[in-house]
Structure 1
Amino acid sequence: MAILLSSSFAQQIRKDSYLRFVPLNYPRIVGQTATNAAFHLYGNPDDPNYQDVNPVDGIDDARHRRLLELAAKFAPYLVRNTTAIPMDFKKFMESRKAFPLHVDTWDVSRASAELIKSETVDFVSIARSPCQAALPASSNADDTTNAKHPHANAANDDCWLLALLQEFHPTKPQNERFKSALVSPNRNIFKVMYFDFPGEDEQSWKSEYENFLSGELPRAYHGISKIYAHPFIQEVRSNLHGMLGYEFILQYWFFYPFNDGGNNHEGDWEHINVAVTINGNGLLSAEEIRLILASDSAAADEQLVISRLEYYFHHKVMILDFLNPNVYLPKKEWQAEIKQRGQERLGEKWLWEKIRELAYVDRKESRINTHPLGYIGADNKGT
């Protein structure tokens, strides 16, 4: 009986029944904060020296290089407990003849949702055949015929992708669920888009991502590891004192093609936040933010340290505060600061000692460490 249950739980969810596990709303794209814009975090398009060429990504090239330098300086070191590594999801498109984006159209107006049609956009063929057709001023977002978008025929996936981008445009969407709060009782169209990565259960994932002889990651996946970095500036205010200062945050995202933990699924994203400060002083001034962002800040880089780490695991967050008590003080001063705190909570002193260990490369504390430590595998060694 146990074997049968295990086997049934590992089966792939059928296409016509997966919707009951999907929230019936579209995730919103979050725009940059006013603070990011005020400091021109991604460059100032009005600056005559602004250049967005290599790569074309909406970020000034010089600022792009600077942000990468900062991301590398504070990039986490990950300890492997399994063959899993954070991967570059785009590499899956490069190594295959086809890599489709699945687009399923559902009618959710009734208690039992109906799958109306399933389509695909092949991301491998997009670069080979750029769209030459002029897209219409508006798309028929509720089209439920068996054909693709009229301006995106099957021979040109790029046109079909552009039509989808137009339909779900962040500021001028043409999709009815974005534009209107009114829901029709007879027809309520909902689209689900997803990539299907190799494997569908524990056995097939192991076959794909683990060499059966060595037990290591197959050679085909060597060189595919990647960590994504998202920098942002956070304004810190107090109801009592008003504006207190700024935080410069580096957010690191890890993509895993599967998760075979307690809730087996494909496409797992995890992340941590690294708050950066200068000389362990806490909140930053506007001048210090500009100094950090300057492309010629080599001298300032020597003063940059971690002020706080935030480890995210779903809705749970573990926070390691490097400044409270301040691990960058000489050890005797740090110990004196701890004594002044009075009664500690259970395990608090042990945690402070571990944070201080993380703050330095060596036991002599002669070199400051700027790389957080993380664990891959979600077992008793970490998350």
Structure 2
Amino acid sequence: MKNIAIRFGLILLVSSVAGCAMAPHKPAGIDVSYIQNILPFSQPPLTLGKEENKEIYGEPDEDGDGIRDEVKAELLELVRKFCPTLMLDISDTGGVLSRPLFPMPVETFARKLTIDRFSIAPFRWKGRRMIDLSEIEDEKLSLLSEYFSRRVRIKPDDEMEVAFFDFPGDSPDEWLWALNVIQWMEGYKPTVYAHPFILKTPEGDRKIVIQYWYLFPFDGWGKVHEGDWEHINVIVTDLDPKKARLLEVQFYFQGFVTSLSNVELDGLTHPVVYVGGGAKGSHGMYPYPGKWLVMRGGKGAERVYSNFRVSYRDFDVNLIPDAEAVKLEKLSPKERGRIIWLKLNVRWGRPWTGGRGGATITLSADSEGYAPFGPAFSTAWNRAGECLGYEAYRPRPKSWLELLPTSDIVEHLITGQPVFENSEKR
């Protein structure tokens, strides 16, 4: 009975999120305990595009969306040509739908920006306001621009603010139900955000990197947190979609990256990505199904037995530029609402939900319990291969003899899936 009540409450909460805008107010019984576990002045910098990116982002840009007018159609054709097919885990569902949860559009997650205000001495919560992002007039844009960059100076009597997108629910079970209800009510398509950039190697070679970013409402495996941005890099030879050939795919998962030139394809150009996590979903992006050993944070292993195909044909593919190239003043209020998320230096989810064994801030891209910042504030944005937060994982399947006498041999016999270890650590 309790579960039914909780789920009914979530349906009502999701319905209110999907409906009219909420005016600034002071919610009753609000929980701001997360503030004890975050560093409110610790925000990542925006990663700018390199000089080479001016070939595709910036002026001339009549509509202000950040993408040069003469290359926009070509770029969209390019990112669609190499759009991945995802293999999701059928158990990654909350029980409302008979299929896994799809990566979601940002407007479903980021309809309103939640802002908590605190005094520092004495340390007190001072109030909360929520800003509707569906339409952004000039006055609201001026207010939101405060959250585009880090605050680097503060006076002794200044107040501080913590801004974030808050998804309905407070645990993986509740997040699953909330997203299922949203999918059931709105029926959104699986969504991907594609960000191409130009890479010049030390040898002087020129390559095109297409980052495909996926938004999930949470990571419920190990590092439990609200909000979850995952991505892969697809490296190709040319900006011209007719000439471009696939060179390499870089898979990012659990603080690691695996780079491969020979990958499974759907058709001739679409990489197949296995999304990890089982029933609560880590949503890491893997090149193969199987059991992956030596995860970070002492988590041991992740089982990637993805069995539900979402074809590249089914995706709503959105092209996103370098964040600094977007000229919001040129856009209409509704257009601003669709892209401002890219520039906001805020957390995607309740800032801290409490990880297993307590909170630990690390250099990993996915610190325990902490909601992530958006793609443009990730250490991986506009970067390829290994970077801060992602170290190399060179997968090596273990032999039958190496699996003995562990329980891995039983699992291998039952599932027929390989067990991988990181040969980089051998």
Same topology, TM > 0.5: yes
Question: Residue 210 and residue 66 in structure 1: after superposition, are their counterparts in 2 closer, same or farther (change >3 A)?
Answer: same
* AA matched with 1:18: Y
- Equivalent residue, structure 2, for 1:236: 201
Q: Is 2:250 aligned against 1:255? A: no
Point out the structure with max Rg over C-alpha: 1
Are 2:113 and 1:101 aligned? yes
1:381 aligns with 2:304: yes
Asked whether the 8 Å contact 1:91–1:224 carries over to 2, the reply is: no
Higher-RCO chain (CA-CA 8 Å, sequence separation at least 6): 2
Residue among 225, 245, 268 paired with 2:190: 225
Instruction: Calculate the TM-score normalised by the size of structure 1.
Output: 0.56
**Aligned to 1:372, what secondary structure does the other structure show?**
strand
Q: Does the 8 A contact of 2:232 with 2:251 survive in 1?
A: yes
Identity %: 28
Please report how far the alpha carbon of residue 75 of structure 1 lies from its aligned counterpart in structure 2 after TM superposition: 0.9
Partner SS for 2:142? helix
Query: Does the C-alpha gap of structure 1 residues 247 and 190 become closer, same or farther in structure 2, counting only changes over 3 Å?
Result: farther
Query: Shift of the alpha carbon at 1:372?
Result: 1.5
Residue 9 of structure 2 is aligned to residue 29 of structure 1: no
Summarize the Cα distance change of 1:59–1:210 in structure 2 as closer, same or farther, 3 Å threshold: closer
Q: What is the one-letter code of the residue matched to 2:218?
A: F
1:88 and 2:127 matched: no
- Corresponding letter in the other structure for 2:114: H
Equivalent residue for 1:19?
A: 35
Q: Give yes or no for the alignment of 1:62 onto 2:31.
A: no
1:115 paired residue number: 125
How much has 1:318 moved relative to structure 2?
A: 1.6
| TM-score of the aligned structures, taking structure 2 as reference length | 0.51
Partners of 1:85 and 1:376 within 8 A in 2: no
Give 1:193 shift.
1.0
Q: Give distance in 2, aligned partners of 1:228 and 1:100.
A: 20
- Residues 177-215 of structure 1: CA deviation (Å, up to 9, x unaligned): 33x4xx55x43543211111222223322332347xxxx
8 Å contact 2:86–2:274 — kept in the other structure?
A: yes
- Amino acid aligned to 2:87: V
Q: Is the 8 A contact 2:175 2:217 kept in 1?
A: no
Quote the offset at 1:236 in angstroms: 0.9
- Cα distance in 1 between the residues matched to 2:266 and 2:113: 45
1:123 Cα shift? 2.0
Q: Which amino acid aligns with 1:371?
A: H
Alignment of 1:112-261 (within 5 A): 113-124=123-134, 126=135, 130-131=137-138, 159-165=139-145, 167-168=146-147, 177-178=151-152, 180=153, 184=155, 186-187=156-157, 189-210=159-180, 218-237=183-202, 243-261=203-221
The answer to whether the 8 Å contact 1:71/1:229 transfers is yes
Q: Which amino acid aligns with 1:17?
A: S
